[in-house]
A = this chain, B = another copy of it.
Amino acid sequence: MIPTDTHDTGTCQRISELLSRIGDKWTLLIVRALGQGPKRFSALKRELGSISQKMLTRTLRNLERDGFVDRKVTPVTPPQVEYALTPLGMDLFRPIAALAEWTFAHADAIDAARHAYDARHPDPDHRAA
């Protein structure tokens, strides 16, 4: 449980903010890709397949701004830009990995809870939104 004594409402919102960022559509996938080592923009795009350039740029910018990813430009033509995890980025994704393990272990329980709920509440409007 999140201890109420050390974590006030402000800290809670801070954590939510970080979770929202990490929980967006692409961040985890990008970080997982960069976990294998530094990669170039186009290599990431190829690897992620369905991501648009805009979203890849935006997600990388956010990661860079928060200090999780380092961006290194080599001024040649055509330009080369390499992205790599910073030490802070690698450090963050240890607790994230713990959460990943948990999700992996309990995915079935969540699915079961959802099916049970949906069976109890046949009205699909409850599930929407």
Task: Show the binding face of A for B, using Cβ within 8 Å.
Answer: 1-4, 6-7, 9, 11-25, 27-29, 31-32, 35-36, 58, 61, 64-68, 88, 90-104, 106-107, 109-110, 112-114, 116-118, 126-127, 129
Pick from B7, B13, B36, B109: contact of A104, CB below 8 A: B7
Pick from B103, B110, B127: contact of A67, CB below 8 A: B110
Q: Is the CB of B20 within 8 A of A32?
A: no
A21 contact set on B, CB distance < 8 A: 23
Chain B nearest CB from A46 CB (Å) reads 14
A110 contact set on B, CB distance < 8 A: 18, 66-67, 88
- Measured between alpha carbons, how far is A92 from B46 in the docked complex, in Å? 34
